[in-house]
Amino acid sequence: MSVREKVAEVLQEARDLLSTLEEKEIEQVLCALRKWQKKRLFFWARGRSFLVLKGFAMRLMHLGYGVHIVGEVTCPAIQEGDVLIVASGSGKTSSVLLFAEKARDLGAEVLAFLGRRGTPLERVVHHVVAFSPEQAGESRQLYTGGGGTRFEDALWLLCDALILALIEGREGEAYRLMMERHANLE
């Protein structure tokens, strides 16, 4: 099988997983993201899911959001009124669950992107977008618990789609502002 065919397979699996999302959850998160533009947003996950969230955080920063990556030396203390955004394919990653509970207890809102429904993490957050891999068919990609690679691929595409939805109708202005905030020490 050629690499081009493998790309088509990866895209199809991501498309299949994305099709399991509930539109209501996505709309609620999009509405929340619009309200959170003046709030401080904190991001936490583990492994490749964290890389996806860091990309999402970067795009939100380009749009003018105040973002912080948990674990970085410049990350301030989370407080009441802040938002923690987490991701977990399994929905039971210990540090993600611990940080979500702690942020909630401190008065922060918590949004979770989950690789499956009915997980411990889903029960402690305020907002959730959860995939349903059992509805997406069998994955031929690397598979670990919540869908592994397929989850991260679909999450990346979902986060990009959320950014596009946030700037809809003002793409020119948004692009200009994003470029003003884009890294220039490169």
Exposure string for 151-169, b = 16+ CB within 10 A, e = fewer = bbbbbbbbbeebbeebbee
Options 152, 168, 173, 180, the catalytic residue:
152
Q: Is the pLDDT of residue 76 over 70?
A: yes
Domains defined along the chain, listed by start: 3-181 (3.40.50.10490)
Q: Would you give the DSSP letter of residue 37?
A: G
Q: Which two tokens stand for residue 21?
A: 């999302």
Q: Is the pLDDT of residue 1 over 80?
A: no
For strands 66-69 and 127-130, give the pairing.
unpaired
* pLDDT band at residue 177 using 50, 70 and 90 as cut-offs: confident
Q: Is the pLDDT of residue 93 over 50?
A: yes
Residue 38, pLDDT score: 96
Please give the full DSSP string across 57-118, using - where no structure is assigned. Answer: HHHHHHTT-EEEETTSTT-----TT-EEEEEESSS--HHHHHHHHHHHHTT-EEEEEESSSS
What percent of the chain has a predicted confidence (pLDDT) above 70?
96
Residue 146, pLDDT score: 44
Residue 143, pLDDT score: 52
Cα separation, 22 vs 87, in Å, equals 17
Q: Which two tokens stand for residue 77?
A: 């203390």
The string of pLDDT tens digits covering residues 108-160 is: 999 999 999 999 999 999 999 999 988 988 877 655 444 468 999 999 999 99
- For the question of residue 152 being annotated catalytic, the response is yes
The string of pLDDT tens digits covering residues 47-65 is: 999 999 999 999 999 999 9
| 23 vs 182, more confident | 23
Residue 144, pLDDT score: 44
The string of pLDDT tens digits covering residues 19-44 is: 999 999 999 999 999 999 999 999 99
Residue 61, pLDDT score: 96
Q: Is 107 exposed, middle or buried (0-12, 13-18, 19+ CB in 10 A)?
A: exposed
